[in-house]
Amino acid sequence: MREDLTSLDHLSLRERAGQVLFPRIGSNMQPPVQIEDDAARVEALLDRCPVGGLIAFNGRLGETSRALASLQELSPVPLLIGADVERGVGQQVAGETLFPHGAAFGVIQDEGETLLEAAARITAREALANGIHVAFVPVADVNRNPKNPIIATRAFGSDPERVARLVRAYVKGCKAEGLLCTAKHFPGHGNTDQDSHEVLPSVSDPRPLLEQIDLVPFKEAIEEGVDLIMTAHVAYPALDPTGNPATFSRAILRDLLRQEMGFTGTVVTDSLLMGAVSQRYPDPRDQAAALLNAGVDVFLDIPDPESMLNGIIKAVEEGLVDEETLDEAVLRVLGLKQRLLDRFGTDIFTQPWNLFPNEGRPSLPSKAFARQVAGRSTTILKSNHSIFPVVPGSVDGHRIVLLFVDPHRTSAALHDEPLCEAFLETYPESRCLAIGSDLDIRGSEEALRAVARADRIVIALVVKPAAWRQFGLLPKQEVLVQTIVSRHPVVLISLGSPHILERFDDAPVQICTYSDSEPSQYAAVDVLSGASVT
């Protein structure tokens, strides 16, 4: 491996064009594919298309690092591996630590920044040990629209100054351990009410308001030395009257981000599979030219890497984009690789487990820390001492019922959730009913009969942002919950957005965990039972 990766002398136009391409390995979409099982496909791709890196989804502890290292051996230039690890490396590598959503850190007023920096350091060590070099975190969006279907609890909060401090803490934690990190989604996805995975949202706010709110966390991230900034597939007429989404906007990426805000790092797109941009330029040549001319350095999650590679080459050869513009992007990508090489040596690409021998196995202290964060963030928003807490043994176990409501999965898939497991362990002989997307009349009638015989009724709602999925409960689920709340005293728990609780104001007890992650589900039962969480 070359000690100096920042020279372009040894790279052909084809090789340089490949450096800006980061297709996926593995997938969490249907049908799911694990990183290890996708390695052969990517190996074949590398023979045809010299990509600069990958975005990794859905791996397994102990296998992901080996699969990625084997691919590194096939690439003349080291591959830069990125991953969306907003909730920790466990989000993409099963067995590693999983944290609550960002909003959970935001509600911990006294130590949120300290805890987040510590979480970032854990994430950094685990990521690097698994062969991942770039975290597509932190979310720097200010969540100021309760109807936002895709940011919501992923953001640290709705106060720009508070979000900015937490963004800075996350960047600081990553930098301390050597993980490259990414502030997203520039210039701010927090005031949208549509999902950019499906359509192109537009934010109509005037520029002074955007500067006062949305740009604040990005300014802090830049000052702290964030390595990358990810674009939003969102239009901002006040910043670019053409209506171009930020991803394709020279006014937003070159004029605002680089010239006015002084960002000198790497600009990466959000996924190019997303509906907001995937059909915008049907010709890969035109899309490549538009992205490079706008100021993009990394094309992330490309549907067809080979077509895009040829599109970049054509765009340069036909004069649609200057070769110097491409080279500027390539040098930024190579610069990130060089920084890793300078700090860690070649093992960071080929044998990362040698550098982090304590991180390549399940870490009980890290998971205990995640559980502590979840406990600290779980909030009792409304209480009634006649039915809460539900102290184990104080009520006949047969008379306690939990309804676990999730709009994204079928009822059968919900029974293995940590919340149900912890609930049944805490309240033996109680009953847990899963209310999934397949709820029908029979299921509703069964739930109504069960709660009619119960002395304690607990309803847990999963309301979280998820790509290509509806935000909020399904209408049939909401009708069922509303019916039960109107008839019975209910302990209502939101495993996600607190705003869903406003729709069921009759519930005498309301609790919010701000996340449905595993530690948050356990924390919900801890709070429900009155157990202390340390």
Pick from 528, 531, 486, 527: nearest CA to 507? 486
Whether pLDDT at 134 is above 70? yes
Q: Which residue has the higher pLDDT, 372 or 532?
A: 372
**Band of residue 436 on the pLDDT scale cut at 50, 70, 90:** very high
**Band of residue 533 on the pLDDT scale cut at 50, 70, 90:** very low
427 in Cβ contact with 458 (< 8 Å): no
Total Cβ atoms within 10 A of residue 471: 20
**Band of residue 326 on the pLDDT scale cut at 50, 70, 90:** very high
The pLDDT of residue 19 is: 98
The contacts of residue 4 (CB under 8 Å, 6+ apart) are 338
Identify each DSSP E strand in 141-191 by its residue range. Answer: 180-186
Whether pLDDT at 229 is above 50? yes
The pLDDT of residue 414 is: 86
Whether pLDDT at 363 is above 80? no
DSSP 3-state of 324 = helix
The pLDDT of residue 467 is: 60
Whether pLDDT at 531 is above 90? no
**Band of residue 397 on the pLDDT scale cut at 50, 70, 90:** confident
Query: Percentage of residues in the chain with pLDDT exceeding 70?
Result: 96
Mean pLDDT of 75-98: 97
* Sign of CA pseudo-dihedral 281, 287, 290, 291: positive
Q: Which two tokens stand for residue 166?
A: 């937490």
Catalytic positions: 197, 270
The pLDDT of residue 274 is: 84
The pLDDT of residue 1 is: 63
**Band of residue 197 on the pLDDT scale cut at 50, 70, 90:** low
Whether pLDDT at 16 is above 80? yes
Q: Which two tokens stand for residue 57?
A: 């989804």
Mean pLDDT of 376-391: 96
The mean of the pLDDT values for the chain is 94
DSSP 3-state of 302 = coil
Whether pLDDT at 534 is above 60? no
DSSP 378: -
The pLDDT of residue 415 is: 79
Domain 378-529 adopts which CATH fold? Rossmann fold (3.40.50)
The pLDDT of residue 470 is: 67
Mean pLDDT of 94-108: 97
Q: Which CATH superfamily is domain 80-345 in?
A: Glycoside hydrolase, family 3, N-terminal domain (3.20.20.300)
Mean pLDDT of 222-243: 96
Whether pLDDT at 388 is above 70? yes
Mean pLDDT of 406-423: 90
Identify each DSSP E strand in 134-280 by its residue range. Answer: 134-135, 180-186, 228-231, 266-268
The pLDDT of residue 196 is: 65
Q: Which two tokens stand for residue 272?
A: 């190019």
> Domain map of the chain by residue range?
80-345, 378-529
Q: Which residue has the higher pLDDT, 281 or 165?
A: 165
Whether pLDDT at 14 is above 80? yes
Mean pLDDT of 107-124: 96
Total Cβ atoms within 10 A of residue 225: 14
Whether pLDDT at 131 is above 90? yes
Reported as a single tens digit per residue, the pLDDT across 457-512 is 999 999 987 665 667 899 999 999 999 999 999 999 999 999 999 999 999 999 99
Whether pLDDT at 157 is above 90? yes
